[in-house]
Amino acid sequence: MHVSGYATGSRKVLRSELDQDSDEGLVTNIINGVQSDSDEFRFAAQIFVKLNNTFEYKCTGSLVTENYILSAGHCAVRNKIQLSPDSYRIVLGSRSLGDPNSGTDYYNVVKINSGDYVTSKAHDIALFRLEKPVPSSVATPIKIYPFRVYNKLLVTVAGWGVTKAGSATPSNVLLKTVVNISSSSNCTKYNPNWTTNYGALLCQESYNGNDSCQGDSGGPLVTVYGGKQVLVGVTSKGRNKNPKFTNKCGKNNIAYYTRVGYFLNFISNETGVSPRSLTPDLDIQF
């Protein structure tokens, strides 16, 4: 997907980008969404990247430890090169889209680990280490869902992406929508990197128009476990199943999410936090 700037007042919002030589780009905005509750996504992060000396909104992310943001690998890479940490600013603790260029509090990034995303597009995941821990009064980390994912799992996606397919205007407030996990033959047809929903990627088909879209890349796909939200996936990419249609999200689209549980050891090794501490209280041997 090519990068294109979207104006929003005095700032632009970048269409979430994949490498320039990748297949059809995909989703980063919430279609048919509703506003999240004030304390529902206290882990959600806004990721801004520097372009022409200005920090512009790029992706959504999730706080998984007190000083690490989890997002998509393509949010950290441009033209097969990982961007430098000082290219980023992270905003936490607000449902409203901020602007770190004009007074919004932000966190600097001191390290990025995008794993092997440059060579393996199915591993669309990256960790951003913040310069300092995030106080619990600002945001609280979300636990990771470590189990296999089935079609009937109730999941919700959230982000600050566009709210209408083809629109250039992102949401100024965090939105959420319920989506459907799928394992139909379309999942492999439109992305040969998908094998099953037990692997690195999750598949989602939009039957009712609910979807993620531009700006939602890297954002959380969550379910409720033990009465609390847990992180199931990270918004990766998608496409329209009909090549004659131009809308890249919403009706008739198929989307893919990085399954976070598949990368639990990767996250543990980078953050220095044990898998047991990254997941809900479980009677599981790792």
pLDDT bucket at 175, cuts 50 / 70 / 90: confident
The pair phi, psi for residue 69, each rounded to 5°, is -105, 130
pLDDT at 33 over 50: no
Domains and CATH numbers, the chain: 143-262 (2.40.10.10)
What's the average model confidence in pLDDT over 251-258? 83
Taking the C-alpha atoms of residue 182 and residue 151, their distance in angstroms, rounded to an integer, is 5
> Which has the closest alpha carbon to 110: 137, 135, 84, 91?
84
Taking the C-alpha atoms of residue 86 and residue 60, their distance in angstroms, rounded to an integer, is 18
Give the pairing type, strands 143-144 and 228-240: parallel
What's the average model confidence in pLDDT over 2-9? 24
pLDDT, averaged across the chain: 80
Task: Report yes or no: 152 and 158 within 8 Å, Cβ to Cβ.
Answer: no
The string of pLDDT tens digits covering residues 52-81 is 899 988 899 999 999 999 999 999 999 999
pLDDT at res. 2: 21
